[in-house]
Amino acid sequence: MRMSPKPIQSFRGDFTYSNSPGAIARFPFPFPEDEYMYSVNIEPHVTPGPEGSVFEFLFDIDEHYLSEMHERDLVLKENPKRCLAMPHMDQACWDLIERAMTSLSTDYPQHFTLQREGDSWTWENKLLNLKDSFTFGDSSTLPLPPMEYIGRQLQGDIALLDQRDGDLFLDAGIVTCPADWSLAFDAGMSFKEWHGPVPMAHGMGIFDRALKYLCAIPQGRPVRRLNWTLTINARMDTSPETYSEWGADRLSVTPENVADKVHLRVELQVLDRMSRSNALMFSIRTYLISLRDLSTNPEWAKRMHRVMKDLKPELIEYKGLTRYHPMVVEWLSQFDPAN
């Protein structure tokens, strides 16, 4: 089902965020097997993918568009450092603008239009009531710096990686809904440096192999992977910068509220090569679903029970689930009587 954006809901305070039946049906459930362990789970992101699915286009725009853009605005107002672009990434930011505007206007013509005459571009975003004319490549003709300008119109976080000497460097991005990591802290780091805290995967050679693969991605052949964690309440911004606001939420989970408080948080990560700069775009599109909504699909609930029950202690600890993991397993067990 194609999703049309609905009125603004909140990812903080009263947490009015909710998923429609259509959004639940297209949720990117991340577990292909009953067991979960890290792997190089990268595959070609062939577009157009299945109609209406989150894999249909390069950027997925769904019913939460207005809510997420509103939340991004709140975060950036509190802390402008959630968006940054080192000076050498200017060209990469413009590559991203081109890739985003051409894909969005082709994939969602009812919401976005782009007119180009040479370097004179006019962009219209009907969802946000924006219409801007600018000179492509000239940052002084945009109302905001290029990364922030386009980032405020894309659902999901974005990082732009500079590729040098067979490695990737986190030199630009807009990150307002991270699963507990900080762009300001990781800025300038290399692929293995920013992955430093991840347990087990380094020893398994996962990052060596992934890096090699990523460096060889050509234009026009994006790839994707899914990552997941659990989040308490439908909170988009679980960043180290705001830890004081959400860290204690983990203590609020009880057997009575676990199904509504605990959300499966899935990141659809797409990697796409930028044209002129050779930078790699890394988009992190976050989907949240409460355990209760997830359990409307009995197959998902059963599989999730098995995955949670056998999850390695290192992963439970790293993902910050220790406190409430037993309650999650217990609640899900009703969907998996044999286990």
Partner 1 sequence: MTIDKIRVRVDAIEQVAPLIREFQLVPVDGELMPFSPGSHVIVEMPDQPRSHRNAYSLLSEPRDAACYRIAVRLQEHSRGGSRFMHEQVKVGDELAITPPANLFAPNWGARKHLLIAGGVGITPFMSYLPALQRVGAGFELHYLFRSKQTGAYRQQLASELGERCYLYDADEGIRCDLGELLGDQPRGTHIYICGPQTLIAGVQEVAQALGWPTSHIHFEAFAAPQPGYPFEVELNSSGRTLAVDGDTSLLEALEDAGIAVPSLCRGGVCGQCKTRVVAGEPDHRDQFLTADERAEGNCIMPCVSRAAGKRLVLDL
Q: Which of residues 185-214 bind partner 1 (CB under 8 A)?
A: 209-210, 212-213
227 binds, among partner 1, ligand HEM, none (CB under 5 to 8 A by kind): ligand HEM
Q: Which is nearer to ligand HEM, 123 or 319 (CB)?
A: 319
Nearer to partner 1, 43 or 317 (CB): 43
Residue 72 among the catalytic residues: no
Among ligand HEM, partner 1, none, what binds residue 243 when CB lies within 5 to 8 Å by partner kind?
none
Closest CB 46 distance from partner 1, rounded Å: 5
Cα atoms found within 13 Å of the Cα of residue 29, Cβ hemisphere only = 22
Which of 47, 53, 190, 297 lies at the binding interface for partner 1 (CB under 8 A)?
A: 47
For the chain, where are the E strands, in sequence order? 43-44, 83-85, 112-117, 120-125, 130-135, 157-164, 167-174, 223-232, 262-273, 280-290
- AA letter at 237: D
Task: Calculate helix-pair angle for 325-332, 298-309, nearest 10 degrees.
Answer: 140
Toward ligand HEM, which CB reaches closer, 128 or 215?
215
Closest distance to partner 1 from the beta carbon of 161 (Å): 13
Q: Quote the CA–CA distance of 241 and 79 in Å, as a whole number.
A: 9
Q: Report d(CA 175, CA 72) in Å as an integer.
A: 9
Query: In the range 91-130, which residues lie near partner 1 by CB under 8 A?
Result: 106
Write down the residue that tokens 């413009």 correspond to: 94
- Residue 126 CB, shortest distance to partner 1, in Å, is 22
How many residues belong to the site for partner 1 (CB under 8 A)?
A: 34
| Alpha-carbon gap, residue 189 to 163, rounded angstroms | 12
- Considering the candidates 225, 250, 292, 323, report the single residue annotated as catalytic: 225
Q: Which residues are CB-contacts of 278 (< 8 A; sequence separation ≥ 6)?
A: 163
Residue 129 near residue 136 (C-beta atoms within 8 A): no
40 lies in the site for partner 1, by CB under 8 A: yes
Nearer to ligand HEM, 42 or 74 (CB): 42
For the bound state, the minimum distance from the C-beta of residue 238 to ligand HEM, rounded and expressed in Å, comes to 11
- Pick the closest to residue 182 from 199, 194, 166 (CA basis): 194
Chain centroid, CA 265 distance in Å: 9
Query: What would the two tokens of residue 182 be?
Result: 């900080």
Residue from 12, 45, 235, 261 that binds partner 1 (CB under 8 A)? 45
- Regarding 37 and contact with partner 1 (CB under 8 A), the answer is no
Cis peptide leading into 337, omega within 30 of 0?
no
What's the rounded Cα separation, in Å, for the pair 74 and 89? 25
Which of positions 244-273 make contact with partner 1 (CB under 8 A)? 273
Where along the sequence are the contacts to ligand HEM (CB under 6 A)?
A: 38, 40, 42, 159, 161, 168, 170, 181, 186, 194-195, 197-198, 201, 206, 210, 214, 225, 227, 229, 282, 315, 318-319
Q: Point out the residues that are catalytic.
A: 225
- Residue ranges that bind partner 1, judged by CB under 8 A: 39-48, 88, 106, 163-165, 209-210, 212-213, 215-223, 273-278
